Amino acid sequence: MNAEEALAEARRNDPLNEFFVWWDRISQDDVATLESALDGASREEDIQQFLQANPKFLIQHLGGGHGRWVIPKQKLGAEHVTDFLVAEKHSFGYEWQAVELESPLKPMFNKNGDPSQHLNHAIRQIQDWRSWLLANQNYAARLRTESGLGLTSINGNVPGLILIGRRASLHEGTVERRRQMVHDLNIRIHTYDYLLESLKGRLKGLAVWSSEPIANETYELPPKFRLPRVT
């Protein structure tokens, strides 16, 4: 069995196959597509729908060499619905990230440097999801064929990712405050420009492995070529 056949077999046996996303099927044209979507969005729902239709833009910051998955609107019991759950797989298993979206027009911090009500709301959402997962971890991680949610290896301390606002609206004085919050909460907090940075970084990385410069084409690397996490 060659590498392509092995990958196809793994995909067939993947219980989350419907949510699998190819991380390397991107092109320079995608930068303009993402920029246009972000610039034109006025509501959280605009971004939700765009990313749900184009999940590859939610995984470019990940580095797992054995696959990436994006699950939109995952129900956690009757109480909660996530915006997205994102997974990457390494040799030692799955790593999950709970993604909460806020409007790209909402501020991350108030003018006095305090977290905005929108950021506080996003933090509470992720904390609520964690509380539910802590109480229902076995059910959440159990295979769907065994009446679970199929979120293999997920736990109640799942790392979070909040996307809110745009970089142009950030105040320089909030950088240290945000860094401390990220450390304390285990929640990465970024503007939507983070998605653009991650995409551009991935394209540059792919060009390193390609014999041709980046053009308006798609690069698909063999599974053995995996890149480190974009920060």
pLDDT score at 91: 80
Q: Is the dihedral of CA 144, 148, 149, 154 positive or negative?
A: negative
- CATH number (1.25.40, 3.40.91, 1.20.272, 1.20.58) of 17-209 reads 3.40.91
| pLDDT at position 8 over 70 | no
For 151-176, the pLDDT digits (tens) are 999 999 999 999 999 999 898 889 99
Give me the mean pLDDT over the 18-22 stretch: 92
For 72-93, the pLDDT digits (tens) are 999 999 999 999 999 998 887 8
Partners of residue 20 on adjacent β-strands: 69
Give me the mean pLDDT over the 98-102 stretch: 98
Buried b (16+ CB within 10 A) or exposed e, 22-39: ebbebbeebeeebeebbe
213 contacts: CB under 8 Å, gap ≥ 6: 207
Banded pLDDT at 23 (limits 50, 70, 90): confident
pLDDT score at 2: 60
pLDDT score at 64: 60
Cβ atoms within 10 A of the Cβ of 48, count? 16
Banded pLDDT at 229 (limits 50, 70, 90): very low
